[in-house]
Amino acid sequence: MSISAHLQPYTIGNTLLEIFVPDTEAVQELYSNRRDAAYWTQVWPAAVGLCHFLEELPLLVTGKKVLELAAGLGLPGLYSARLAEQVHITDREKLAIECVQLSINHLQLENVTTAVMDWREAINSIKPELVLMSDVNYDPMVFEELYSVIEYFLQEKATLIISTPQRLMAKAFVNGLLPACTLQRNYAIPKNGDEAEVSVFLLENP
């Protein structure tokens, strides 16, 4: 692996999950002279909120073929693996996928695969029954692309679960999801001694 990483525990209900996250010093060194943001190098509250949603509604993932897009460190996909038939975790950052693969090996998951892939390539990949996306709507410049990907999977009769922090810029994006939303849950996720408000949306094509 081209960046050092360590195991970090996450507790979802009664489930303890240890996954690999990059070391802070390694991230600072790697990105000190690069313009691209290191969003993938930490687990964001939206990913934890998505896991809590799956904990409450396990039938959504049980026995399903699951695709996680823009996964970063892949916590929701890794959490899903205990119930899903198959999980495919993807991100455009090669280092992110290397970290996920370390976690897969550590957790001894035999039903999880990975790929370096942008969400725009997802429509040409596998045909999942369930698509997971967390904290992907941080840049208004890509909202239209996201809507296109979401619409494609809905037309393919996949179920989507999208988790987002309750930030101001997310409001317009969320409004575009509501016509397909069949369930919404809100969570307060601990973050650096405070709480982050997260909303999770279940999207289905009737």
Q: Is-contact 82 62, C-beta < 8 A?
A: no
Q: Give the per-residue pLDDT at 52.
A: 97
Sign of CA dihedral 204, 187, 116, 108: negative
In CATH, which of 3.40.50.150, 3.50.50.60, 1.20.1630.10, 3.40.50.2000 is domain 5-203? 3.40.50.150
The b/e string for 32-66 (b: 16+ C-beta within 10 A; e otherwise) is eeeeeeeebbebbbbbbbbbbbbeeeeebbeebbb
Calculate mean pLDDT across residues 132-159: 90
Q: Running DSSP on this structure, what letter comes out for residue 66?
A: E
Report the pLDDT value the prediction gives residue 154, as an integer from 0 to 100: 94
| Segment 74-109, tens digit of pLDDT | 999 999 999 999 999 999 999 999 999 999 999 999
**Tokens 């289905």 sit on residue:** 204
Average pLDDT value over all residues in the chain: 90
* Residue that wins the pLDDT comparison between 40 and 199: 199
Residue 12: is its pLDDT beyond 80? yes
Instruction: Assign 151 a pLDDT band (cuts: 50, 70, 90).
Output: very high
Amino acid at 73: L
Residues 6+ positions from 51 with CB-CB distance below 8 Å: 10, 12, 75, 76, 79
Sequence spans of domains, the chain: 5-203
Report the C-alpha gap between 91 and 108 in whole angstroms: 21
Structural contact between residues 43 and 73, judged by C-beta atoms closer than 8 angstroms: yes
Angle CA 105–191–137, to nearest 5: 75
How much of the chain, in percent, has pLDDT values that exceed 90?
67
Residue closest to 60 by CA, chosen among 128, 147, 8: 128
